[in-house]
Structure 1
Amino acid sequence: MYDVMLDEANLWFHEYEPPLRRRKIEEAPPSPVEDLYFSDEEDMSPEEREKYRLQVVESCGFDVDFFKHTFNGIMPSGCCPYDTLFAKAGLHCYNLEKGKNLQFKTVVKVNAEIGSLYNSYSTSEVMDPVNNSLHTFQTLVTDAGKMNKARLILVTKICRLKPQVPGIGDANGRWDFDAIDDFYKGDMPDWPPNGACTKGDKLLQFYEVKESELRDNEWISLYAEAALFSEWHSDMSAYTPFEMKKVVVQTKEDVDSSMKLKSSNAIFYMTFKVREGPDCRGIVRKTSDGRTGHMRLEARCWIDK
């Protein structure tokens, strides 16, 4: 099991800011919040501490019981809209890496770790459309707050099917931020002037996604959802599916045009319409350090009245 606190320190070192929002818990934890944060007890007993440690190590934080005196540790939590979005993002990362098309069904449970950053350990039910089989999916995603004009930054660290044997599976949570190209660092881009994103503009490295590609890659709407969520911070189920109007990809990766859509490092410029709602423009910057289960999405959005 990797050191979560060290990973958070690395995020701080790379100038991340803590979330400015406060997470809304929709379901009560197994024990009153007052008991958790304001107990007169100074610490867990040695027996509780060892039990907690083993559960964290063996499950990578996904299957941890409620411990009354776990201050700022991993604990069971209700599922909020952040967790649902993060679970979808983790599954998307897994699908891209594994060449799969697993479909998100529902979040089964969430373990939360709330410190300088918010870590969501979610367990979800997903379906493989090849044979309609159901699977248990686990992902650890960090809400890295706001910075560089991004209104939402989510960082995936673990994306995996739940292993049959405890402690076995892809679980390398430490990011190598130095591996990200400087082109994708710094401030998020502003919305480009009319005509700046043109199809086939090799000089600016823009590629306009074809309508057929939009139909065949429904996951693109997840990026639009992340962009809109960065402004609304609410459940998106009432506003989806979106009508994707135009998507332009910008990437430095030297790949065929048809593969730019799935580049590990790219910037997506999207125009879309919310169901029974306004037209929107969103930018999502997607990056990865090349390690399994690692994807970062930075999002911003403009809502056109």
Structure 2
Amino acid sequence: MDPAFHSLFSFQTLFSDAGPRDGISRLKWSTLAWRIKCNEAVDNYWVDNTIDDFYKGDIPKWFSDEDLAADNNNYYVVQESELHENEWLHLLAEIAFYSKEGGSLRASPRLEIKKVVVETREEATREPRENLKADNAIFYISYKYNGDPSTGLAGDYKSIIRKTMDGKPGHMCLEVSEYCNTF
């Protein structure tokens, strides 16, 4: 709905769930279109060679405190206030949680984000908080699921989510590593 004019629009998306890749426990989701519905064909060809090799292959391990201290140009610790300004970070945490919980939840999970660190190789000279807007980035998110303890899912988690974009409108890929329960 267009809130300014209270008019309804049909929205069009093209989504692909590649599931686990190469026997590795990670999921890959791609969107190739998100737009107001129109008669134009969707460009469903992903241009992999536009993405830096840093964002290909295995998803990295969780960063160490030494990595974070040594490379503050490429790592950015998201401030508490920015979590509220960037609600989509909560969506990333939910995607990571849903990727492993097996479809048993029927409502939005109650997740409490503890820490988000963004790693990117894009424009290391820019303002560090701008790393949140990078087209290609790796998000390290620690969070707590405060749901029903009887499900066996309540507890603390860490997820690594790699976001890549090939530069075409509507194209974005999210890869989610297997989260680890940190009881």
TM-score, length-scaled by structure 1:
0.52
Q: Which residue is equivalent to 2:18? A: 144
Give the equivalent residue in structure 2 for 1:186: 57
Residue in 1 aligned with 2:93? 224
Larger-gyration structure (1/2): 1
Check conservation: 1:247, 1:268, Cα contact below 8 A.
yes
Asked if the contact 1:200/1:208 (under 8 Å) is kept, the reply is no
Q: What residue is the counterpart of 2:166 in the other structure?
A: 289
Counterpart of 1:247 in structure 2 is 116
SS of residue paired to 1:230: helix
Q: Percent identity between the aligned chains?
A: 42
Query: How far is the alpha carbon of 1:130 from its aligned partner?
Result: 5.9
Pairwise CA RMSD of aligned residues? 2.4
Structure 1 pair 235/135, CA: closer, same or farther in 2 (3 Å)? Answer: farther
The higher relative CO (CA closer than 8 Å, separation ≥ 6) is in 2
How many Å separate the matches in 1 of 2:55 and 2:78? Answer: 20
Q: Give, in whole Å, the separation in 1 of the partners of 2:60 and 2:36.
A: 35
Distance 2:66 2:106 in 1: 33
Counterpart CA distance in 2 for 1:260 and 1:129 is 29
5+ residue gaps, structure 1, are 1-126
Which of the residues 41, 44, 58 maps onto 1:173? 44
2:172 matches 1:302: no
Cα distance in 2 for residues equivalent to 1:131 and 1:197: 49
Q: Which amino acid aligns with 1:184?
A: Y
> Runs (4+) of structure 1 moved beyond 4 Å?
127-134
Distance 1:136 1:197, change over 3 A: farther
The alpha-carbon distance between structure 1 residues 150 and 207, as it changes in their structure 2 partners (threshold 3 A), is: farther
Distance, in Å, in 1 between the alignment partners of 2:59 and 2:91 is: 19
Q: Distance in 1 between matches of 2:82 and 2:69?
A: 14
Matched residue pairs, number? 173
CA distance 1:137–1:174, change in 2 (3 Å): same
Tell me: CA distance 1:132–1:216, structure 2 relative to 1, closer, same or farther (3 Å).
farther
Q: Deviations over 1:12-53 (max 9, x none)?
A: xxxxxxxxxxxxxxxxxxxxxxxxxxxxxxxxxxxxxxxxxx
Contact 1:253 1:265 in 2 (8 A): yes
Letter in 2 for 1:218: E
Give the alignment's TM-score, normalised by structure 2: 0.83
The question of whether the paired residues in 2 share the 8 Å contact of 1:137 and 1:160 is answered with yes
Q: Tell me, yes or no, if the aligned pair for 1:200 and 1:207 is still in contact at 8 Å.
A: no
Q: 1:131 to 1:294 in 2, by over 3 A?
A: same
Distance in 2 (alpha carbons) for counterparts of 1:239 and 1:197? 33
